Structure 1
């Protein structure tokens, strides 16, 4: 049974993605008079303004990850595989160019044309508007493998090509002629850049050499050499300073003085990976760089020595995140620890609120002196952390443990830096054993204490304000094996520890005494406590999950279904859902009240960490070998979602990770229609044999049946309405000497004569169906007719059942049997009560004098009493449960 889409969560957008290995492009907008920088992020193009480095636009997602980027005055060109597209207005794909047989690795806009080169050494010139090939040139890969392309300034219709063999060729594209071949320098060309001077080109080589060459006279003007490997990017300042910048694969940038022909300065560790793109802003002392370390930086050259400093930057993790958690209660910040050793905070509202808390270090001062590459003081990546906001303005509010490291660190969110304390057991204060390390950590709700579990089974408590050791659980250690998880309840009364020895232990938080110990069926791999409801999620090494109530110390739910190691768990804010991720690449949502799996979706890569927003609107996930954090919107908040248990043979289909652009709002009504089509669920007529079912008719149809005479009396006008008499055209006068007006004649009141037609009245449909039901015993048709009538018509129909109204005793008996049928089936319970009450009110004298009717009424009375006694016991039971729950909460 395959699923078309995830029912409960829908992909929203990705956080923390800013750059890739693809070089950026710099554009100038004439009307805005502003520079923009575009970077490739996954399958989309991000456009930032240089002024504030704020994101301006995110393009629509392409089919695959972008591998090459270029831009002209109007369009951005992005390629993947053997296809490339033209993107207009930084968003929409307006042209598609197909024709290459191999992967495209070079793009060069050229007036009304664009040039593309693939790895098979085929160069194609395209007409931008018509999407047709203008020219195709095939080069011999053995003698001239194209590795760089450039359009020299003022060279009409000409392009310069660099090769892996080291030679250069100047071509006229219009005439398809090779104008000149440069012998080169015997080393592969990696990049070509136009110098501010006409005819002068900078050539970067794989050896680290930079050749400043005049292509008009084929003359080398100067040479430079870097010792950091091949040249990855070159750019020239154009604000009056003769400076050239060159990038390297190790992330260093060298600045060369072109007048003095010497090295001006070095910008070491500008990026932690290779410098992919580099552009000086024309006429300004600003340099823009990007790299595969997921960072864009704007450097300003305003200090002495000619070196630059970071003016603005946008950066995420340079290595995949390992643990993510929401910070605070507003659901707007996500703390993320990555394999790059940094702890960062990403805002779900806007990128300008992002923070980087830095990298863990034994000694910050020494680390800054040594730099990123040679930093022996850097701590290993964070494997687990906990945060609280209660006292984060007063002292550190985050505590973290590091991979294979005994010392736990504190972090300050407000200061965006590493904290003041390093927490480790006193016996290891001098020597630090390699085989002992911290495995689990938690922080109390008040933010005063941190509880840290060790691989030896020790569990220690530290004060967050002073860093002082405040006790240990157990005499020497809490468990015989490694600690797999620690948790403190919301009132600082209980500390819960889980060990690899297969035990869950409950300790008094302050006294450190053991309260209870629970044996587990398997060794736990991790625990998670929902403090508000007091439920503990336990993940096991056998891929199963259990839920334990910390008040009764009993396991209340067991779930199985994952086929791989469970990486992380998170609870919904109300504690109804437990969401788990596993190495089987699925994310599953378990409903705790019903104990069922209600949602499951499959991804291309496994989620290593999950966290649910405190407001319940988003689920965030981090994945294997992925730099981004992905947000999934909770569809149950804004559309109709079926939370029925999934069948045992449910097979989820693969869901694509969301892009960096928020998905367009879908039509909720249309979405609901799809949901209705997908889940065809019909409620049964009766939920249980012991219950009763109401009719769902509005109260106005049945509630006031006994008060109709009072309502009519209140609505009766005090006096009949009088028609105003119109004045005659000529006012009549009395004949005589003195003219007098004639008095108006009084009209005789006409009294209506009501004719009692009695037996001449025509039988109604309701009456006819009741007569038929005496023989067929089918009362569905008369009941449906009665349900469609209003209160006044119902009274008329019931009055007409008596003999003086044209009815008969047999029809009255048939009506009582219809009420009995309703009570037997327990349908339309309130209608049966109302109809019977009105019937008794109208015909009580006739019923008391007829034995057949009295016998039927007595059986109905017994039936009504039994049903009501049972319902009253159910009501009392529910009220007792509610009273108990209220008293427990208070």
Structure 2
């Protein structure tokens, strides 16, 4: 539809415009490339070589140029640290490799371009290499194609016979798989017709008229089908399914390799390139019609189209959030495929974003991200633009918190990271002044090992200090003078003077573990929830006001007027508690997963709850009725109100940060501004159920 077509325009992140001077007698097309697994680097073919670009900074990092040769195709390694490719030359000009061209497999460092490995493959060129998916795992064999080596005579390499084999790049061990003669002129040899399963047990081979799947151990053909399309093929990672081309008239077909049964067809014609996503759930097609299309493999339905770019190649990032398409005019377009905010979207760090670790205060936002196991950092950024303002490295616990004015950030320190020989050491909570850089330590925590097998004799039983604590929840008081933290490992509930770091109160070890805390808007009460109980303390005397058995509330918040305490549960419910009687007044059912974060709008009228199923649901606080659903295809563990009409949402696996609107009028204005055309008469008939389109 017109609206669907207009909305796709926002998927384009960047277009790399190039005008390559292709020699008239060039023997290889540079219209190819791929993205790194995280989508941050771009590999793109060039005349006599290739280039590597930083996608986010729009800057070329390095290139390979062979004065008398070509790199027919290269790919990123599966971990993104290197680039793997082969080198060729024009056999019609010379049977021997020219100066500067070393036939074989080359491995370059992805960031610097330094060659870190070279594996010779004999005296003939290697036209291309392939593995399952879009990347190369150097610990597994790769499929390579090239002209067959002859035993004698002046022609050492027979350009009319294509040899296909597997090679171990680390050891150089070579395993012949198949040989095809005839019908393969040099300009269509190579990776365009090869794909392998992840274990290299099966190899799919496609030519101008037939696609076959070969068992690489027995060299027997286990699937064979006539085709009438481009010399292209896609094989699933387990080798059980193969996609064959249909030419300009017929759709693409998905087959069961063992039985030869047609599973389904994709309504895509004029396709030049197609391939599976890394998880085999999505098929990407690109071709002469100028539209990149994404298809759901399980159903055969089209799930996304990206128009306006005619080309011959495309490549997905490993997590499926970015796609690069390579056009006939030498340009390259980078698309984002992640869920998009209607108002805005930006990227932070790749990694895992723990639940309830997002905070917005005083015009700043901060979130905790774990880019790799056993390491986390806090990222402070502008919530409107995504501009990163600060990073606090080496933190631990579950959450971080900003002071109400946004000038200070509280985070538990990781004293030393885990190593193969030693577990990580956790330490105290530190408050970082984001303007001056001053750091204030909150007293009372000991430094201890995260491993239960490492004794910590220096740690005491709370409230004696120092004691063990792993922070699961943290909040500043409304005036910023106090900091409260609920913790695991028996640390209980702790409260400090946020300016001096003095420990003012510790509850001692209590049944269950403290997970969530919240100050009342006037700062006079502090609520804490454990898996079995609900507590309320007077912040002047630290005497308990309430202690009663209660279902564990994961996120827990006061309403802006202080009348209610609202929390989410592992049982997918929202519980509303009267803060005067401490009795439950409502239990809202309808979330689809455990609630990971919950926020209340500044005007106190709406609740935003994010759950592990990927649903963000907006509730009317007064009536308890759902107002709006924002479904996502990934778990959502962090949500914040920017104001009464806008949400900031961070998926659990990042790195996208989305700004969504709850204002229907604003949503309609945004949709209207993106329209590039009206409905056709056919679209009016199908979607509006009218014979004549309404006047604009």
| TMscore range, shorter length | 0.3 to 0.5
Query: With structure 1 as the length reference, what TM-score do the two structures score?
Result: 0.35
Q: Which has the larger radius of gyration?
A: 1
Higher normalized helix content (fraction of residues)? 1
Higher normalized strand content (fraction of residues)? 2
